[in-house]
Each structure stands twice: as structure tokens, then as C-alpha cells.
């Protein structure tokens, strides 16, 4: 398929490129990137293309990656399947996702890793990179066969949703992973402190709900940073929510430790006041924190302490959400709201557009040591095209995810994904022989 993307602003931090270009795609690859006012070397004209997209006023970016999603397949496909998850990712603007291992059965064996890869391949859309479990069954009692899981296609290791409580086991996991230069992704939570259902503070007291103190996260962040320093292993800290965690990560980076971190749009957009109406779509783990924590997350994104914006896309059904707050399941979906919510950081001047692309494309690929995505000749045509100005209202009725548990229902946003191209194919529209 030959695709021509005209007059967009290409933002590619790996090339220090932020300028208007026309991009030409054929047979799954980028075959030319030309200045839009100088197309004398154009490989094909508009009338010769299978699809022409006018990207005037839009941003052409290297494909975005969400390095933290839960696709529920195998085992809980009534919440999400690999197919519906990939479709949600494509419409949300993601060419790649990394799925956590907390499926049923847990992704702790090469056979399950291969199943996920093969199932995703059959969907012919967004690339899916499985993250394998650190421990069998995510039980935190022993270690998986990391070498065999890497051979099967695992891209990293985590027991996400379940912290590794035993520090000796986490040390051994890091030592084992370091022998392969593999990445450990840590869900930082001290379970003996985190028996509540929301952030511990004024709001939880007002609502009469049991709280989870910030220390439950921060203690484990500090522990795992210390273990990374001890072992030399690469450590990525998932879904950071507290001011103290941001400061601990900042100090680790100042020391030159191999530590990276992510947060999610809900943590730089919402606070625990979102729970005041007992809205279970605002119940998540880790929980929403205070305004000072939200501000610290934003500052950490701006100064580079937090490397990645990921969604922690966690589908739950209405049956699990539409019940009493303390009994409701934790988790929110985010693939189709991530770009609109994250663009608010650009509109507010907290991040530049280039920084946003770094945190949603360049940095995830670099941290996972995957092949870089570039908007350059002979590179795979994996592109996220964003219209940063289009006004819209988030509505779960428009979602392609199987579940609808979003805290952003009804939000007025400016900007969204306009086109997602994976290996030279448009995956968020039905495209035949069309010119636009």
C-alpha cells in the first residue's frame, strides 16, 4: 500500500527534527521524507497513492508505545481480548503496547508468551510485546525461567498488580535479569501498609473509607532503587504517584543508577477529590493522591525525572465497578484517552510537543532496548499522527475497548490521534482505495 502524508509537522526527537514534511510510505516502509515546499524528488504523486492524508496543522510522530497495559487474554476475555485491546490501542494512537503478565494463567511460561504474540499477530494491528512474570503465578515465592521467556519473546519482567514483597527474592530477580541485561518493572507497594481502598488523607477521612498511605509506595521505591544499586540491574518503576517517590527517583538518577520511571495520565490530571462522589471509575491501584503529589508528578515529567507516560490500561466490567466503593474492583482504562489527556500538558506549557513524543515513543523504546522508531527513509512505517487542536468530548460510547471504566467521561479535550500507521498499514480506519 502506498500512502502519502502531506504537509504535517514531523516531530522526531531522535533526529532533532521539528519541521513541516511530507512522508511517503510503500510496502511497509518509509521511502522518503521531503520538505513540503520542495517535492521535486517525490517518489509518487497524489493520484498514484492508495491513500493521501492531509496532515496540515497535525503532528507526524514516531509510533507511540504504551509500555503498561493489561489485556486480560488469556483467561478474562469478558473484560478485554487481545483483539479488542489492539483495536483500542490503534484508535488511541498507539502502534505498540506492552502487556502485563497478570492473565489467567499468568504469563510465566514460554508457551503463554508465544500464545500472546501469535494471537496479536493474527489481529494484524498494533504490535503487542508481552511482559513475563518475575515469579510463577505472580506469587512472589520463586523465580521464573527468564532466559526461556526471553527466547519466547518476552520484552521485560514484572509481577505487576502484585509486588515482590520478599527483598531477597527481588535481589535474586535483579541479579538473574542482569545476566541477560533484561529490564525489571516494579509495582512498588508495601502490602502490609496498603490495606485501604483510596489515598489516606483528608478525603478518605471525610468519606469514611480506609486509606492507603503514600509511604506504602515510597518505601518500596526506595528499597528497589537500593537493590538496583546493589545488583547493577536495570529497574523501571511503574505508575509513580507520590511526591516522595519522584524525589527518590530524582536522587537515583543524579547518582547515575540504571533507574527509569513512568506515570499515567490519571496521576497528573486527577486527585483523590475525584472520589468524593464515590465514583468507582476513579478507584485504582495505586490510588489517586493529593494536589501536591499531582504537582510533583508534573514537575517530574517536565524535568525528566519521570521518563514515560503509560496508561496502566486495566479493563473492568460494570459488574465489578457498579457496586459499593470498598468492594469495587480497582483499575481504569486509558488507551483511548491517553493522548487527549496528555496533550493538556502541552497546551498548559508543562511539556513541549517534543518532550511528549519522547515520553510516549522514544523513551519507552529506549528503556526496553527495542529497535528505534524514526521518521526516516528505510525505517518501518510506524507512525502516530495527532491533531492537537480538534475539540471533542470524551465519551465511553465511542470506545473500542471491551470495558468502559474511565474516570474521564465527559471531559472536554483539545487534541487526539488522527491516524495510526503500523508497518505501512492504517489500523484505525477502514481503508481501501481512498484519497483524502
Kindly tell me if the per-residue pLDDT of 436 is higher than 60: no
Q: What stretch of H or E contains 320? A: helix 318-321
How much of the chain exceeds pLDDT 90, in percent? 97
| Amino acid 429: pLDDT | 80
pLDDT digit string (tens) for 271-311?
999 999 999 999 999 999 999 999 999 999 999 999 999 99
Kindly tell me if the per-residue pLDDT of 375 is higher than 80: yes
As beta bridge partners, residue 53 has 5
Residue 430 pLDDT grade (very low, low, confident, very high; cuts 50, 70, 90)? low
pLDDT digit string (tens) for 395-429?
999 999 999 999 999 999 999 999 999 999 999 98
Q: Which residue has cell 502524508? A: 5
C-alpha cell read off for 36:
513540503
CA distance to 24, 85, 93, 289, per residue, from 381 (Å): 9, 21, 14, 39
CB 156 within 8 A of CB 182: yes
pLDDT digit string (tens) for 43-93?
999 999 999 999 999 999 999 999 999 999 999 999 999 999 999 999 999
Domains of the chain plus CATH, in order, are 3-60+378-426 (2.30.40.10), 64-367 (3.20.20.140)
Rounded to the nearest 5°, which phi and psi values hold at 103?
-90, 180
CA-derived radius of gyration, the chain: 21
| Amino acid 37: pLDDT | 87
C-alpha cell read off for 237:
518503576
pLDDT digit string (tens) for 190-249?
999 999 999 999 999 999 999 999 999 999 999 999 999 999 999 999 999 999 999 999
- pTM attached to this predicted model: 0.97
Q: What share of the chain is helix, strand, coil (3-state, %, to 5)?
A: 35, 25, 45
| Amino acid 95: pLDDT | 98
Integer Cα distance of 175 and 232 in angstroms: 8
Amino acid at each position: 500500500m502506498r500512502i502519502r502524508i502531506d504537509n504535517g509537522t514531523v516531530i522526531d526527537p531522535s533526529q532533532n527534527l521539528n519541521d513541516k514534511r511530507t512522508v511517503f510510505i510503500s510496502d511497509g516502509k518509509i521511502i522518503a521524507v521531503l520538505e513540503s515546499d520542495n517535492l521535486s524528488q517525490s517518489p509518487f504523486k497524489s493520484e498514484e497513492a492508495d491513500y493521501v492524508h492531509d496532515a496540515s496543522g497535525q503532528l507526524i510522530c514516531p509510533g507511540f508505545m504504551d509500555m503498561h497495559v493489561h489485556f486480560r487474554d488469556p483467561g478474562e476475555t469478558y473484560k478485554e481480548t487481545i483483539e479488542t485491546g489492539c483495536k483500542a490501542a490503534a484508535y488511541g494512537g498507539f502502534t505498540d503496547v506492552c502487556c502485563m503478565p497478570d492473565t489467567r494463567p499468568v504469563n510465566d511460561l514460554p508457551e503463554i508468551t508465544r500464545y500472546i504474540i501469535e494471537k496479536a499477530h493474527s489481529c494484524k494491528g498494533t504490535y503487542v510485546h508481552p511482559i513475563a512474570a518475575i515469579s510463577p503465578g505472580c506469587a512472589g515465592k520463586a523465580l521464573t525461567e527468564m532466559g526461556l521467556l526471553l527466547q519466547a519473546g518476552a520484552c521485560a519482567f514484572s509481577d505487576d498488580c502484585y509486588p515482590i514483597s520478599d527483598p531477597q527474592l527481588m535481589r535474586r530477580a535483579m541479579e538473574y535479569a542482569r545476566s541477560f541485561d533484561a529490564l525489571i518493572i516494579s509495582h512498588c507497594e508495601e502490602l502490609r501498609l496498603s490495606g485501604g481502598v483510596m489515598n489516606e488523607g483528608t478525603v478518605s477521612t471525610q468519606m469514611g473509607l480506609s486509606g492507603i498511605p503514600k509511604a506504602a509506595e515510597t518505601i518500596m521505591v526506595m528499597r528497589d532503587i537500593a537493590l538496583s544499586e546493589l545488583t547493577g540491574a536495570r529497574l523501571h518503576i511503574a505508575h509513580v504517584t507520590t511526591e516522595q517517590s519522584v524525589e527518590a527517583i530524582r536522587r537515583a538518577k543524579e547518582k547515575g543508577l540504571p533507574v527509569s520511571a513512568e506515570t499515567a495520565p490519571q496521576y497528573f490530571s486527577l486527585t483523590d477529590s475525584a472520589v468524593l462522589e464515590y465514583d468507582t471509575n476513579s478507584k485504582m491501584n495505586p490510588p489517586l493522591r493529593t494536589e501536591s503529589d499531582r504537582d510533583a508528578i508534573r514537575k517530574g515529567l517536565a524535568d525528566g525525572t519521570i521518563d514515560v507516560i503509560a496508561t496502566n490500561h486495566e479493563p473492568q466490567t460494570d459488574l465489578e465497578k457498579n457496586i459499593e466503593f470498598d468492594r469495587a474492583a480497582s483499575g481504569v482504562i486509558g488507551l483511548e484517552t491517553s493522548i487527549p489527556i496528555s496533550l493538556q500538558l502541552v497546551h498548559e506549557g508543562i511539556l513541549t510537543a517534543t518532550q511528549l513524543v519522547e515520553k510516549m515513543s522514544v523513551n519507552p523504546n529506549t528503556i526496553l532496548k527495542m529497535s528505534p522508531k524514526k521518521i526516516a527513509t528505510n525505517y518501518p512505517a510506524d507512525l502516530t499522527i495527532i491533531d492537537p487542536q480538534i475539540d471533542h468530548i470524551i465519551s465511553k460510547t465511542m470506545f473500542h475497548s471491551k470495558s468502559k471504566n474511565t474516570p474521564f467521561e465527559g471531559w472536554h479535550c483539545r487534541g487526539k490521534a488522527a491516524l495510526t500507521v503500523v508497518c505501512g498499514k492504517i489500523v484505525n480506519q477502514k481503508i481501501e482505495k481512498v484519497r483524502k
